[in-house]
Amino acid sequence: NFDTKSVEIGAILGRGEDLLVAWKDGTTYGLDNIDLNNKAEALYESLQFDAEQPFSDKLFRFVKIVTKPLPTGCSVKVKYKMNEEANWQETKMGDGSLSFADVGETKAIFQLEAQGEIYEIRLELYPSGNNTPEIISINTYFETLGLY
C-alpha cells in the first residue's frame, strides 16, 4: 500500500543473509526481516515541474515511460497532481487500462488532460516475485497556454 508517508526508517542492517529494517509509524515501532526473494512495490514521486514558468498556464497531454522489457506479472501505474492538489489523479492508456502490463514491451504512453501551472508525476511499480519493472525514462508532453 502506498499510503505509508508516516513510516520512518531508523536503521538498516545486513547480517549474514538477513536484511533487517527498523521502522517507526507514529507511535508504533517495528523490525522487519526483508524477503530477498520477493521485490516490494516501489513508488517514485517527482519534484514539482513548472517549465521554469510557474506563472504560465500549461496543458499536459501525455506521459511516455520507457522501461527495460517488462517481466511477466509486473505492471506500472502513472498518476499526477496539478497545482499542489492533495490527491493523485489516475491516468489511462489508449486502450483505457490504468496500468502498463504488456510483457516484454518497453514503451507506454499514458493520456491525461490536465491544465495548470505546476505539475507532479508519480509512478507506482508493481513486482511479481523477484522481478520488477525497471524505468529508464519518463517524459511529459505539454503545451504552454499563456498567462491565464
Grid coordinates of 42: 516501489
Confirm if 63 and 139 have CB atoms less than 8 A apart.
yes
Q: DSSP letters of 84-142?
A: T-SSPEE-EETTS-SSB--TT--EEEEEEEEEES-EEEEEEEE-BTTB---EEEEEEEE
Ramachandran sector of residue 17 (left: φ over 0; alpha: ψ -120 to 50; beta: rest): alpha
CA torsion through residues 133, 139, 142, 148, sign: positive
Q: pLDDT tier at 146 (50, 70, 90 boundaries)? A: confident
Lay out the sheet containing 42-45: strands in order across: 42-45, 119-126, 75-82, 89-90
pLDDT at 2: 47
Does residue 134 surpass a pLDDT of 90? yes
Lay out the sheet containing 107-116: strands in order across: 92-93, 107-116, 57-67, 135-146
Most confident of 24-28, 111-115, 117-121: 117-121
pLDDT, average across residues 66-92: 97
pLDDT at 66: 98
